[in-house]
């Protein structure tokens, strides 16, 4: 009986999370575009424009230019599927729906799988520009992945647990005394957050002006729509992950208030991303890697501090 | 019904007889191939039944003695406990597909006779069965070690017309002799004070005798004992490819051998080193010696060496442009994970807290599971590389591209193997890495360095992914290279079914163990319960995991969990959802050529090849070594690339 109820709860919460991500992602993108435009003294598109863009793309001709179209299709579907699966692993104002199906290590690796799909898609398209893009994307993944991994491990060390509900609840600060490691990780992740959501100044793998969207260059129609959708959803996913891990305050309130507060925090983070993106220029890949490597080094200090209980 | 020990001895004898028989029929490649395969299958059946008996009913009470010469301390005593059974299982499991693959694969060697292939390959297999089950640390260790090394040497220099293969084989031979000497000197140090402890026969180099003498030796001569254990670590470290020894021989030897042999070298042979470390450092030391035995310190050394090994091996692999050389460097990298798991187990085992000792068992589960997984996916990858070599005649990734269109089945199995080795969830590599991370990170309360080791391991798994994105991408995806196009015009590239089947079987194992890891966990639980010797007894007494098809795997303190079946279901549903969304607009679909920014035709020199990948990372880690070309160390001229 208990098992049944928790199954039903999991399903409801999962549907809610997935639906919410799908619904909210284009809205955030719309806001992002509007605010960027205003900062750059342009009028900007109306906020619902990304919804129309997606709908339009879904009906456009789907040109497959790669030599292994099956792999192109597989990569595209898996790309959105992975992002939505991650949505089920995250608490979004409620406990994580798949709390009973995996832990934070699975989360780290699923976030990597999101990246792998883009890489496979770029490789399957096979254009030289795509390959340059995926080489860059992979190099930044190598330096980015340890940062989130350390943030999550710091939380896991503090709470002696890998469970999603325990770790994704401000666990980085869960120490007696001043949470040095947690605050260091907060700064580190904030400083590389643009890269996690692939926005300027770290959208190096897509770099429209030189690589013409890199891995996505050869994609059109519904495939491009799915990629764009996954890209927008990633912004939501990483923002909720950040809020759950680093900004837990207020989530203890009762249902409507705590839930609204959670999404308000996510929204503020999106605005921050927009602000940084609109006012910075893109880095070169070697500059970016050096920058991330420095952050990884700082994060390692935090990890050592965390293993000593600070 | 044979006892497990008899089954092993019979298997060895069958292999030896088989070596003679295949030599006699070596005129016909096909007949010799089928004969060798049938012999291997017969021994595998014997080994499987022995393993099943040990894991179901427990091991025999005593080692079985087949040949004892007390005056020299010389005895062929065979013992199959759980640990041995696990490694025997691996050997048989990889040998069968490797031999089956050989039948069709060896046909493409027009200028070489299989008289120098199958007999040696069977001797090699026999030696592994023997080395994994003998209890003699000196004479029979030596015999089986040489029986493994010399045929291995012959197999590595099989294509003897290429001078680099001869050099690789010589290096292998020298390193293996150093390893053999180190291990035997270590055994001598431990046995030198040996007296007849048990029974009337003075078997001074037998596990039982050495183990019984060890408490006294540890308390009276701690430095000498430590020296002996250091020698074991060096000897087995050379064998398994541990940093810094592995880099010397392994990356040259594995690519030189024919691909099925590479699969066995990397999948099974280097694991005998892992077996040695586990056996000598954990099972040899009796519980009564625990107070004088610095287990946690050895654990730290092994875990740190493992971490260095996994990082250096994988980083060097990232620089490679030859398919099998790339895979060989990854063998070093993956051995690092196994060592990290073993080291973490040893570091956590002395702890008094039951939670920590449960974590020690989980770390060992991770190491043992990764031993099996690495055998499966690396064996598969070497077979894939063999198929690519068979189809295109080159190991050079720069010259490949677009093979998926021509050999789809090989491509899919290579993708499965690449995902497995990179630790993508739902494949077997992820589960074993997960166990190692869980143990290392949670155990960092009692051994603080383990958190950093685990982090390096997580970082390295991203490097592994990068390397395999390159491996898979530039050979199977990307665009058809000139070489592949020329080859495709002259004939069919996809390998015959006899080479496809072993690849498919191994790929299915990778997926099965990834989705239902409970199979492996419950087997490993039995493995530990069936190997109650020395400190292994401490491990056998713990049941650290709750496992099941629907409940997945979770440590007893429920601080971590993994339910692959639920993840499969959710990911599958989301995949359908994504598919559904893409079909909403009923968009028409059309094939076209990619846009080349105005260039009319595509030339090989415009392709982005393996050489171009990850330039910045390679530059930053240039000091780490690992030249992409085995001997000259020179970069290929642009002309060669085009």
pTM of the model: 0.93
The SS3 of residue A63 is strand
Examine the domain organization and report whether B169 and B36 are in the same domain: yes
Number of domains in chain B: 2
Distance from CA of B606 to the nearest CA of A (A): 7
To the nearest whole angstrom, how far is the Cα of B442 from the nearest Cα of chain A? 6
Q: Which residues of A touch B597 (CB under 8 A)?
A: 129, 212
* pLDDT tens-place string over residues B185-196: 999 888 865 454
Search chain B and give the residue with CA nearest A146: B459
Q: What is the pLDDT at residue B142?
A: 92
pLDDT band (50, 70, 90) for residue A52? very high
Residue at B547 is within a domain: no
Q: What per-residue string of b and e applies to A15-37 under the rule 16 or more CB within 10 Å gives b?
A: ebbbebbbebbbbbbbbbbbbbe
Q: Which helix (H) or strand (E) holds B554?
A: strand B552-555
**B551 inside domain:** no
**A57 vs B contacts (CB less than 8 Å):** 585
Q: Which of B578, B598, B620 to mutate to test the interface with A (most CBs of A within 10 A)?
A: B578
pLDDT at B356: 87
Strand, helix or coil for residue B69: strand
Mutate to test the interface with A, among B585, B605, B619 (most CBs of A within 10 A): B585
Instruction: Compute mean pLDDT per 10 residues along chain B, 642 residues long, and list them.
Output: 90 95 91 94 95 91 80 79 94 95 90 90 95 89 93 92 90 94 91 53 77 87 92 94 89 91 93 94 90 91 95 92 92 95 93 86 94 95 93 89 90 94 92 93 88 92 92 88 87 88 95 92 91 86 79 79 89 93 86 74 75 83 78 48 43
On whether residue B491 sits in a domain, the answer given is yes
CA count, 13 A, side-chain hemisphere, A173:
12
Is the domain of B86 the same as that of B220?
A: yes
Per the domain annotation, does B586 fall within a domain? no
Answer yes or no: are the C-beta atoms of A307 and A157 closer than 8 Å. Answer: yes
Question: How many Å lie between the alpha carbon of A303 and the closest alpha carbon of chain B?
Answer: 7
Query: Would you tell me how many other CB atoms lie within 10 Å of the CB of residue B318?
Result: 26
Q: What percent of chain A is modeled with pLDDT above 70?
A: 99
Shortest CB distance from B566 goes to which of A101, A125, A129?
A: A101
| Shared-domain flag, residues B520 and B409 | yes
Judgement on whether residues B260 and B313 belong to the same structural domain of the protein: no
Domain extents for chain A? 2-307
Residue-level pLDDT at B630: 62
Q: What is the pLDDT of residue B631?
A: 56
pLDDT category of residue A170 using cuts at 50, 70 and 90? confident
pLDDT at A69: 87
| Cβ pairs A/B, distance under 8 A | 259
Whether residue B529 is found in the same domain as residue B429: yes
Q: Which of B359, B442, B555, B570 to mutate to test the interface with A (most CBs of A within 10 A)?
A: B570
Q: What is the pLDDT of residue A11?
A: 84
Is residue B505 situated within a structural domain? yes
The 10s digit of each residue's pLDDT in B415-446 is 999 999 999 999 999 999 999 999 999 888 88
B589 and A77 within 8 Å at the Cβ level: the answer is no
B333 and B441 in a single domain? The answer is: yes
The size of chain A, in residues, is 310
In a domain, B588, yes or no: no
Q: What is the pLDDT of residue B202?
A: 61
Kindly list the residues from chain B whose CB atom is less than 8 angstroms away from the CB atom of residue A88: 570
Measured in angstroms, the CA of A38 and the nearest CA of chain B are apart by 32
**Best mutation target, B431, B478, B557, B567, to test chain A (most A CBs within 10 A):** B478
Whether B454 maps to a domain, the answer reads yes
| ipTM given for this complex | 0.92
Q: At A160, is the pLDDT very low, low, confident or very high (cuts 50, 70, 90)?
A: confident
Min Cα separation A134/chain B (Å): 9
Instruction: Say what the pLDDT of residue B620 is.
Output: 84
Per CB-CB distance under 8 Å, the chain B contacts of A14 are 570
Strand partners, B67: B76
Please write the tens of the pLDDT for every residue from B520-574: 999 999 999 998 888 888 888 787 888 877 777 888 777 888 888 889 999 999 9
Neighboring chain A residues of B601 at a CB cutoff of 8 Å: none
Cα separation of B165 and B168, whole Å?
5
Looking at residue B197, what is its pLDDT?
A: 47
Q: Are B244 and B337 contained in the same domain?
A: no
Residues of chain B with Cβ-Cβ distance to A110 below 8 Å are 425
- Examine the domain organization and report whether B196 and B333 are in the same domain: no
B11 and B131: one domain?
yes
Are B405 and A141 in contact (CB < 8 Å)? Answer: no
**Residues of chain B numbered 364-403 and touching chain A (CB < 8 Å):** 401-402
Which chain B residues contact residue A146 at CB under 8 A? Answer: 455, 458-459, 462
* B411, B463, B571 ranked by CB distance to A81: nearest: B571
Residue B323 lies in a domain: yes
Strand positions, DSSP E, B416-561: 545-548, 552-555
* pLDDT at B343 (0 to 100): 95
- Classified as helix, coil or strand, B553 is strand
Mean pLDDT of chain A: 87
User: Which B residues in the span 540-599 are in contact with A, Cβ-Cβ below 8 Å?
Assistant: 552, 558-563, 566-567, 570-571, 574-575, 577-579, 581-597
Structural domain harbouring B146: 1-269
The DSSP result for B384-427, as a single string, is HHHHHHHHHS--BGGG---GGGT-HHHHHHHHHHHHHHHT-TTS
Task: Quickly count: other Cβ atoms within 10 Å of residue B600's Cβ.
Answer: 5
Residue B575 is nearest to which of A81, A101, A161, comparing CB atoms? Answer: A81
The reply to whether B84 and B134 lie within a common domain is: yes
Q: Do B265 and B390 fall within a single domain? A: no
- Shared domain check, B336 and B238: no
């Amino acid at each position: 009986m208990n098992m049944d109820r928790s199954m039903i709860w999991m399903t409801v919460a999962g549907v809610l999370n997935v639906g919410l991500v799908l619904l909210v992602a284009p809205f955030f993108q719309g806001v992002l575009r509007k605010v960027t435009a205003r900062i750059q003294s342009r009028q900007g598109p109306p906020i619902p424009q990304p919804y129309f863009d997606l709908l339009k793309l879904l009906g456009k001709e789907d040109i497959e230019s790669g030599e292994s179209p099956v792999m192109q299709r597989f990569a595209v579907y898996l790309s959105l599927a992975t992002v939505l699966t991650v949505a089920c692993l995250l608490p979004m104002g409620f406990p994580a729906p798949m709390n009973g199906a995996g832990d934070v290590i699975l989360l780290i690796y699923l976030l990597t799988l999101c990246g792998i799909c883009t890489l496979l898609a770029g490789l399957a398209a096979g254009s030289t520009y795509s390959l340059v893009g995926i080489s860059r994307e992979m190099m930044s993944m190598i330096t980015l992945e340890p940062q989130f991994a350390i943030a999550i491990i710091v939380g896991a060390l503090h709470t002696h647990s890998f469970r999603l509900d325990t770790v994704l609840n401000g666990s980085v600060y869960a120490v007696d005394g001043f949470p040095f490691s947690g605050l260091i990780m907060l700064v580190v992740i904030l400083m590389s957050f643009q890269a996690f959501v692939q926005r300027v100044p770290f959208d190096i793998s897509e770099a429209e002006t030189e690589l013409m969207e890199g891995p996505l260059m050869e994609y059109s129609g519904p495939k491009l729509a799915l990629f764009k959708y996954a890209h927008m959803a990633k912004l939501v996913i990483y923002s909720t992950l950040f809020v759950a891990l680093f900004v837990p305050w207020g989530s203890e309130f009762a249902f409507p208030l705590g839930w609204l507060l959670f999404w308000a925090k996510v929204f503020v983070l999106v605005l921050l991303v927009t602000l940084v993106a609109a006012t910075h220029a893109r880095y070169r890949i070697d500059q970016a890697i050096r920058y991330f490597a420095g952050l990884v080094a700082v994060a390692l200090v935090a990890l050592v501090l965390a293993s000593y209980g600070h | 019904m044979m006892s497990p020990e008899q089954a092993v001895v019979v298997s060895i004898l069958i292999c030896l007889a088989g070596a003679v028989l295949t030599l006699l029929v070596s005129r016909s490649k096909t007949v010799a191939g089928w004969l060798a395969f049938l012999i291997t299958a017969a021994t595998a059946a014997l080994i499987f039944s022995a393993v099943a008996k040990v894991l179901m009913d427990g091991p025999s009470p005593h080692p079985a003695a087949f040949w004892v010469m007390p005056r020299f301390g010389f005895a062929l005593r065979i013992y199959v406990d759980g640990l041995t059974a696990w490694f025997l299982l691996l050997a048989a499991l990889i040998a069968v597909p490797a031999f089956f693959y050989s039948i069709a694969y060896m046909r493409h060697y027009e200028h070489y006779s299989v008289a120098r292939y199958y007999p040696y390959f069977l001797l090699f297999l026999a030696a592994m069965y023997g080395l994994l089950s003998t209890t003699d640390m000196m004479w029979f260790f030596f015999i089986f070690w040489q029986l493994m090394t010399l045929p291995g040497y012959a197999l590595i220099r099989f294509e003897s017309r290429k001078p680099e293969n001869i050099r690789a084989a010589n290096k292998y031979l020298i390193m293996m002799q150093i390893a053999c000497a180190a291990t035997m000197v270590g055994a001598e140090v431990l046995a030198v004070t040996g007296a007849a402890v048990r029974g009337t026969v003075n078997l001074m180099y037998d596990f039982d005798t050495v183990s019984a003498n060890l408490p006294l030796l540890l308390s009276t001569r701690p430095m000498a004992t430590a020296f002996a254990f250091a020698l074991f670590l060096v000897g087995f470290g050379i064998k398994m490819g541990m940093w810094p020894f592995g880099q010397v021989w392994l990356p040259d030897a594995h690519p030189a051998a024919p691909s099925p042999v590479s699969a066995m070298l990397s999948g099974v042979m280097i694991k005998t080193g892992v077996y040695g470390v586990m056996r000598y450092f954990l099972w040899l030391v009796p519980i009564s010696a625990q107070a004088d035995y610095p287990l946690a310190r050895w654990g730290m050394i092994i875990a740190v060496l493992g971490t260095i090994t996994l990082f250096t091996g994988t980083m060097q692999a990232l620089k490679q442009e030859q398919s099998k050389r790339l895979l060989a460097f990854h063998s070093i990298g993956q051995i690092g994970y196994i060592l990290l798991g073993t080291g973490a187990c040893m570091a956590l085992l002395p702890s008094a807290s039951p939670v920590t000792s449960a974590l020690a068992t989980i770390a060992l589960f991770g190491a043992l599971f990764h031993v099996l997984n690495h055998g499966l996916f690396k064996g598969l990858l070497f077979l894939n590389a063999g198929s690519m070599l068979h189809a295109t005649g080159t190991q050079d990734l720069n010259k490949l591209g677009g093979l998926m269109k021509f050999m789809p089945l090989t491509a899919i199995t290579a993708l499965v193997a690449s995902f497995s080795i990179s630790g993508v969830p739902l494949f077997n590599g992820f589960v074993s890495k997960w166990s190692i991370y869980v143990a290392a990170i949670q155990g960092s309360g009692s051994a603080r360095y383990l958190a950093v080791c685990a982090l390096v391991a997580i970082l390295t798994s991203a490097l592994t992914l990068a390397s395999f994105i390159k491996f898979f991408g530039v050979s199977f995806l990307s665009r058809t290279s000139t070489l592949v196009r020329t080859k495709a015009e002259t004939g069919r590239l996809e390998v015959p079914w006899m080479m496809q089947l072993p690849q498919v079987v191994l790929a299915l194992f990778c997926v099965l163990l990834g989705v239902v890891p409970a199979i492996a966990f419950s087997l490993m639980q039995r493995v530990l319960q069936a190997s109650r010797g020395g400190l292994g007894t401490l491990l056998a007494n713990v049941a650290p995991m709750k496992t099941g098809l629907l409940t997945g795997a979770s440590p007893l303190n429920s601080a971590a969990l993994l339910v692959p079946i639920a993840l499969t279901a959710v990911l599958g549903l989301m995949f359908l959802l994504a598919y559904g969304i893409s079909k909403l607009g009923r968009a028409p679909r059309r094939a076209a050529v990619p846009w080349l920014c105005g260039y009319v035709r595509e030339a090989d020199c415009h392709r982005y090849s393996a050489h171009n990948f990850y330039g910045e990372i390679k530059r930053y880690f240039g000091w780490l070594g690992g030249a992409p070309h085995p001997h000259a160390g020179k970069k290929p001229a642009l002309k060669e690339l085009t």
